[in-house]
Amino acid sequence: MRRTDDSGDRAGLRLDGRAAVVTGSGRGIGRAIAHGLAAHGAAVVVADLDEAAGATVADEITGRDGRAIATRVDVRNAESVAAMVDTTVAKWGSVDILVNNAGVATTQVVEDTSEADWRRVLDVNLTGVFLCCQAVLPHMSAQGSGKIVNVASVAAKRISFNAGASYSASKAGLLAFTRHLAYEVAGRGINVNAICPGPTLTPMMAEVADEETLRVRARSVPRGRLAEPDDQLNAVLFLVSDLADMVCGVALDVDGGALLGWTDTASYFERRRGPAAKEVPEEERDG
């Protein structure tokens, strides 16, 4: 049986002595995950393409007596990813946790999607995860332990309300990759799992969606509200903790029941071809 502390509460959520890499953690859900892992004792590498944003988050964490450094990473580039992992090991001595959160999307319908946009979304959302996992596996295998969490989307199991087919395809592929990798490395003491966020309220979502849009989205969620970044963090905390040692290859929906139903379809083409069509921040791309 898993040990408990003196109060009877499970102690397995503590991450003291572990080093965590969180990609795309300069804002939104990634930022919440970086903060949460640090608050539970992990030393965190805030990895983001936006170096300034990552540095701000790292400063926020250290300002709260946590341990964090920032590094720039382009997850599409194997050399950049390798440098991120080398930085982690040089600073903290190991890499125990990897959260693959970096992602992009576009809003176009299929016939309006350029090959370049298609490839960019797949390169970041799927190939980028492959490269990051491949880079940490030698370290995790050598120490006989590790936790990897891939941030997918409910779009992987349905379609995306906000983003295009490239996004849904990349996230569906990510779930297949998660299952396959989990099978390959479970015997080495490495757990690989995914979370599937539903509509999540972030500062950027509030900037691009008016109050009525947010109300409509909330009404489509059986739980009665949009998720918060900390809802996604809580799922990640469980999956990277000792409490999840026997959890391998799952895709945990964190959506307030959104997958149990669907919203109206009238706005589908309007959102992709109308005047509001735009590149959607990762945190608004719920599925």
Instruction: Output the pLDDT for position 74.
Output: 98
Domain over 19-284 is classified CATH 3.40.50.2300: no
Instruction: Output the pLDDT for position 146.
Output: 98
Where along the chain do its domains lie?
19-284
Instruction: Output the pLDDT for position 167.
Output: 94
Annotated active-site residue in 167, 171, 271, 280: 167
Instruction: Output the pLDDT for position 278.
Output: 58
Q: Is the pLDDT of residue 286 over 90?
A: no
> d(Cα 245, Cα 62) in Å, to the nearest integer?
29
Instruction: Please compute the mean of the pLDDT values over residues 166-185 and round it to a whole number.
Output: 98
Strand pairing partners for 227?
Answer: 200
Instruction: Output the pLDDT for position 280.
Output: 55
Instruction: Please compute the mean of the pLDDT values over residues 259-285 and round it to a whole number.
Output: 62
Q: Which amino acid is at 81?
A: V
Instruction: Output the pLDDT for position 121.
Output: 97
Question: Residues 60-79: pLDDT tens digits?
Answer: 999 999 999 999 999 999 99
Q: Is the pLDDT of residue 5 over 60?
A: no
> d(Cα 35, Cα 28) in Å, to the nearest integer?
11
Q: Is the pLDDT of residue 163 over 80?
A: yes
Question: Residues 45-62: pLDDT tens digits?
Answer: 999 999 999 999 999 999
DSSP 108-128: --GGG--HHHHHHHHIIIIIH
- Of residues 100 and 278, the one with the higher pLDDT is 100
> d(Cα 235, Cα 197) in Å, to the nearest integer?
10
Residue 133 tokens read as 């996992």
> d(Cα 26, Cα 260) in Å, to the nearest integer?
31
Q: Is the pLDDT of residue 215 over 80?
A: yes
| Half-sphere exposure in the Cβ direction for 155 (13 Å, CA) | 28
Instruction: Output the pLDDT for position 4.
Output: 37
> d(Cα 123, Cα 34) in Å, to the nearest integer?
23
Instruction: Output the pLDDT for position 3.
Output: 38
Q: Is the pLDDT of residue 113 over 90?
A: yes
> d(Cα 162, Cα 271) in Å, to the nearest integer?
7
Any catalytic annotation for residue 268? no
| Alpha helices (runs of H) in 40-194, residue ranges in sequence order | 51-63, 78-92, 115-122, 128-143, 165-185
Q: Is the pLDDT of residue 208 over 70?
A: no
